[in-house]
Amino acid sequence: MKKLLILLFLPTLALSQKAPDGYWQRDDDKSVYQFERDRAIIFECGHLLEQQKYTKGDAILTDFFVFDDDLYGFERVHDRNGYLSKFVKVQLALDAGNNRLTLVYPDYREIRLSRFYPMSSPVAQQQQVVMPVQAPAGLPGYWQRDDDQSVYLFFDNTAVVTQAGSQLKNYGFTEGIEKIKNISPTSSGQYAAEDRIYNKETKKMEWESVLLKISANQLTLNYIAYPDRFVGFKRYNEPRELAEIPSHSFTSQSTTSSTQIQKNTQRVYFPKLPVAKQENKSAIGIVIGNKDYRNITDVDFAENDADAMTDLFRNTFGIREGNIITKKNVYKSEFEALFGSSDRSQGMIHNLSRPESDVYIYYSGHGSVDNNGKTYLIPVELEKNSLEIQGYSIDLMYENLSKLNVRSITVIIDACFTGEVAYENVSPIQFRITDPVLKNHNMVVLCATSKNQYASWDIKSLQGVFTQTILECFENYQSTDVDRDRKITVNELYQKVSDFYDGVPYRARLQSNTQIPTLKGHNEEHVLFEY
């Protein structure tokens, strides 16, 4: 009898050890889930849950169980009227630090959550968590380095590069990259933070602990591990309205004895997208956002781009939720699983598609070229000077896509292909859309840049300028519809995005950058949206 009791107790024990507890906030729409025992209820409803007719207090996840040492549960799915439609089994994966949670769905879609402490929660009250505080006086705004004239924009608890000087460029830094993160006040009146540096010995980007000290219009950055090393700044009047800087305050969360700062590259822009007249039931959407690179500079806002384009695919292009695969921080093996390899051309997209399918693919992240001018999408594990081995060939992707028996293929790429990311001391090379696109009658590719150009980032919206402009074109769809036929084609979208006086070229000029989108292929009249 004792043995039987032990066996009955083991599943409950395993569940209690693996199940998350407390409050967790979704990365995509800021909804907050409250986990308790074997379920999760909605504590705060974000815009995505509201669209699906959820309300505060609804049980969103239920009946957790452990199978083969992994935690699973069932998510409640509503129909368009807000009634229960079905339950979907999901896997709940906690990271080693117990601060990040990923919900993995059968269609490989993922939703990520971070541990959260609402002020009203008992956890916050018991642990005396420091909630949002006012931004430090004098720090937000633009500051210029004394050594190479680089300009940083400080806002919230982070700083991004808006103008890269010679020293930063030598180490691979470009405009839009997050340079300083996790800024928090100290008892001495200074600010603790982390500065992204290039380690010459390991040839990798790393984060160093620093202290920031403000004195009038002077700012000094001191490296804690190197007392004699510092960087001086003076206040810089950038030709932009500082009132337009995101007005979020510094946020700290105490989950351990040390203070942790909520990273500030999270999405802040939620466009009012038009809704498709009807579902495109056979359409397929693949969305990739590569942000967190292991050995090269991060693409800080790529995940925001991916989330926004997922909304566009679902709401405006009418792609069904189960036909959209959104993946973040993708390895080469995942590219091959999606689009096929040189040995096996039939990836996951082949299995999902039908002859009547419209296929849409979006990528935000790094791209590069090898010494022969061959272009690649960059998986997150890539190391410098290993592009041919670890990169995913765009030619291969186009070749495999051309073998699909589908109605149309539309590829959108928010990346630049200069060669500087994956190689050291390599000059920019022209990004060339190669034969697989040009010979395929139903494929079209819209890319963020032309030859020798960098892709710009919108500091205020925390999105790529190219992606941001696409979203705004659909927000203002009537002005995008040039011929007034109540249809938005790929070519009409391109005309607006590439407009010299109002599109990407103009917005890039505001950042002292040259960026002209390109359109290649033979299916420019493919209709993206009807109203």
Determine the number of helices (DSSP H) and then strands (DSSP E) in the chain.
14, 31
pLDDT score of 431 more than 80: no
Q: Residues with Cβ < 8 Å from 449, sequence gap 6 or more?
A: 415, 416, 417, 431, 455, 466, 515, 516, 517, 518
Mean pLDDT (the chain, rounded): 79
Query: Does the pLDDT at position 192 exceed 50?
Result: yes
Across residues 230-244, what is the average pLDDT? Answer: 65
What pLDDT is recorded for position 452?
65
Q: How many CB atoms lie within 10 A of CB 108?
A: 13
Helix H or strand E segment including 436: helix 435-438
Q: What's the average model confidence in pLDDT over 419-428?
A: 40
* pLDDT for the residue numbered 277: 92
Report whether 25 contacts 113 (CB < 8 A): yes
Query: What pLDDT score was predicted for residue 357?
Result: 96
Q: Three-state SS for 409?
A: strand
Pick from 295, 299, 324: which is nearest to 413 by CA? 299
- Whether the pLDDT of residue 434 is over 90: the answer is no
Lowest-confidence pick of 136-150, 385-399, 448-462: 448-462
Query: How many angstroms separate the CA atoms of 200 and 210, rounded?
Result: 19
Q: For 9-30, what is the mean pLDDT?
A: 69
Euclidean distance between CA atoms 254 and 61, whole angstroms:
26
Question: 244 pLDDT band (50/70/90 cuts)?
Answer: very low
Whether the predicted pLDDT of 351 surpasses 90: no
**Pick from 351, 344, 446: nearest CA to 406:** 351
The span from the CA of 170 to the CA of 1, in Å, is 71
Pick 137 or 113 by higher pLDDT. 113
Model confidence at 369: pLDDT above 60: yes
Q: Pseudo-torsion of CA 342, 518, 361, 486, nearest 10°?
A: -150
Can you give the pLDDT at residue 526? 95
Amino acid at 141: G
Please tell me whether residue 509 adopts helix, strand or coil conformation.
helix
Residue 97's CB is within 10 A of a number of other CB atoms, namely 10
Percent of residues, the chain, with pLDDT higher than 70: 80
Burial class, 96, CB count within 10 angstroms (exposed 0-12 / middle 13-18 / buried 19+): exposed
Q: Three-state DSSP class for 62?
A: strand
pLDDT at 466: 94
For residues 389-408, give the mean pLDDT.
Answer: 93
Contacts 24+ apart (CB under 8 A), 196-202: 196/297, 197/171, 198/171, 198/172, 198/173
- Spatial distance between the Cα atoms of 200 and 440, rounded to a whole number of angstroms: 45
Helix or strand run (H / E) with residue 475: helix 465-475
Q: Which residue has the tokens 């693919």?
A: 361
DSSP codes joined into one string, 71-121:
EEEEEEEE-TTS-EEEEEEEEEEE-TTSSEEEEE-TTS-EEEEEEE--TTS
183 or 275, which is more confident:
275
Q: For the ranges 54-68, 98-112, 202-216, 408-422, which has the lowest average pLDDT? A: 408-422
Indicate the helix (H) or strand (E) that contains 169.
helix 166-170
Domains and CATH numbers, the chain: 2-127 (2.40.128), 141-248 (2.40.128.520), 284-530 (3.40.50.1460)
- Higher local confidence (pLDDT), 501 or 305: 305
Q: CA separation (Å) from 124 to 23, 116, 250, 252?
A: 10, 9, 17, 12
Q: Which residues 6+ apart lie within 8 Å of 371 measured at CB? A: 423, 426
- Residues whose CB falls within 8 Å of the CB of residue 389, separated by 6 or more in sequence, listed in order: none
487 burial via Cβ count (<10 Å: 0-12, 13-18, 19+) = middle
Buried/exposed 219-254: b ≥16 CB within 10 Å, e otherwise:
bbbbbeeeeeeebebeebebebeeeebbebebbbbe
Q: Where is pLDDT greater, at 400 or 36? A: 400
Residues 6+ apart with CB under 8 A from 250: 132, 133, 134, 135, 136, 156, 157, 183, 184, 185, 261
Reported confidence tier of residue 37, pLDDT bands at 50, 70, 90:
confident
Other C-beta atoms lying within 10 Å of the C-beta of residue 10: 10
Minimum mean pLDDT range among 64-78, 186-200, 472-486 = 186-200
Please give the C-alpha separations between residue 143 and each of 15, 37, 101, in angstroms, as whole numbers.
50, 49, 36
Q: What is the dihedral of CA 116, 121, 126, 132, to 10 degrees?
A: 50
Residue pLDDT, tens place only, 114-161: 877 654 444 444 433 333 334 445 688 889 999 999 989 887 677 878
pTM summary value = 0.54
User: pLDDT exceeding 90 applies to what percent of the chain?
Assistant: 32
Q: What is the CB neighbour count within 10 angstroms for residue 2? A: 6
Query: Which helix (DSSP H) or strand (DSSP E) does residue 413 occupy?
Result: strand 408-414
Contact 330, 379 (CB under 8 A): yes
